[in-house]
Structure 1
Amino acid sequence: MKEYSSFEEIDRDLKILKLQNQIDKEEIRLSVQHTKESLSPISLIGGIIGSIAQKAFVLKAVSKIFGLKKVITST
């Protein structure tokens, strides 16, 4: 435990703690806001579409590199 020799030291530490508390609250607020934005329907749909487009691009690139062709069989 810290020992204080003056009220000025106590006041200084209290101000620091108050500022740290405000910073922590702001970080939590921003984190909640970011989570809400990332879970919004538009963001989720955009993420899904982006993921599908990325997989399609990779598949097309791999097939061009390795010369793979789609085989269609009829019965």
Structure 2
Amino acid sequence: MTARQNSPHAPYAPYGPYALLAGFALLLAAMFGVAYAVGSAVGPVAPGMHGSGGSGSGGSGGGMDGMENMGAPAPETVR
């Protein structure tokens, strides 16, 4: 027997690092595709939720009702 046969190192991998990276990228793209398809089939999770765009019905600019005193203090208005 030679020292090579009793080596504690892992056996030779038949695929190079680029093939493994390409396989991972393909798996990642497939997972995103499945997630997009499921999301499109299910539809919006919260239909009443609106984005934080500039248009709207006025109000305080978003947020949850009853959460006015949470977080950072409101800026003071300068007159």
Q: Above 0.5 in TM-score?
A: no
Q: TM-score range by the shorter chain?
A: 0.3 to 0.5
TM-score, normalised to structure 1, is: 0.42
TM-score, normalised to structure 2, is: 0.40
Higher relative contact order (CA 8 A, sep 6+): 2
